Amino acid sequence: MAYYQKRGKTWQARISWVDVQGERHTKSKGGFSTKAAAKLWGFENENRLRQGVNIGKAISFYDYFCRWVETYKEGQVSHVSLVRYQTTENDIKSFFGNTQIKDVTRSKYQSFINHFGADHAPSTVQKINGFIRACVKSAILDDYLLKDFTQGVSLTSNKEKIKNVEYLNLEEIQKLTKWLAANLNPNFTSRYMILTAIYTGMRLSEIQGLTWKDVNFLHQKITINKSWDAVNKKFKDTKNQSSKRTIKVNPELLAYLVQLHSRNNSTMVFMNCYGDIPTSGAVNKSLRTALEALKFKKQGFHFHSLRHSHVALLLSQGIDLYAISKRLGHSNMTTTSNTYAYLIDEYKDKTDEQIVEALKTL
């Protein structure tokens, strides 16, 4: 029930209700210039009560997001992903301050996206919006919100912030592959891992997590069904469900892996002589050594760039984008086309020529 009274020159509204445990609660707000404005506030809050929202619950957007990350993400996501969530916490605190989550409107959230997007690339804006959308859905389930204020928001960004990952062209890939093959040592597995990335396009954590059971020498296939947690030195799930896949591999890669298999007593493919799986730092150090030996000046090139180089190689050979997407373990082709748009554009002329040649057959 709502009550209204005038206090000096302004109006105050107060509503009271009984919860499911039989306890009575009240909520009030003053400072309304008219009785109509006070009644509107009372009507809106009574309506939220009827829809099951606990209007007595109050928490800032920042505090709720932090609590949500701690409850649902810590221990469930990789260290790198957790850092991204924590960075988002700081972005929310900086823009929204102590604003209650129930007071965040769609227009206010759009202002946040506009502010954040002015200095960030499209992929970064999409990622932070994805984090917040998931958090908001949780807040609705927890009765802090009635509506999703992220719905219908336009994602704005700064395209000048897009950074294309450096990759190797076909000639450079061939030279790197040849150098690695000539400098292999089964006791030190980093170079074998680099070759695996070149030939498969697999993520580092997927390569680190390979066991010999995952390698089918007879049918020339590798199954990716898990990845490796380098911090805690244990298996973890793949990045997402679509990352679980089986890919065809070439005999050359399998020949290199046979060298390891004959010397390796571990169930892990890339266990080195120290009983460890090489870390990101170790494989990147080996990669830099190889690039320097070949006099390749690639300042921003790192292990993940090999994945991009793999895509460049396949595109240069006219491999269908759908097949590439499935090989990489993407959930859909949109992810592939967005991530590798700069490569796709580069090979557009070649594709156009193929289209023209195909049309000549009519």
Is the four-CA dihedral 316, 321, 319, 202 of positive or negative sign? positive
Residue 350 pLDDT grade (very low, low, confident, very high; cuts 50, 70, 90): low
Q: How many residues does the chain have?
A: 362
pLDDT tens sequence across 206-248:
999 999 999 999 999 999 999 999 888 999 998 888 899 999 9
Beta 10-18 vs 24-32: how paired, if at all? antiparallel
- For residue 93, pLDDT over 90 is answered with yes
Distance CA(261)–CA(223), nearest Å, equals 17
Tell me what pLDDT residue 91 has.
96
Is pTM, for the whole model, over 0.95?
A: no
Query: 260: closest CA among 245, 282, 278, 247?
Result: 278
Asked if 319 and 299 count as a contact pair (C-beta separation under 8 A), the reply is no
Distance CA(209)–CA(236), nearest Å, equals 8
What are the structure tokens assigned to 203, written together?
């993520």
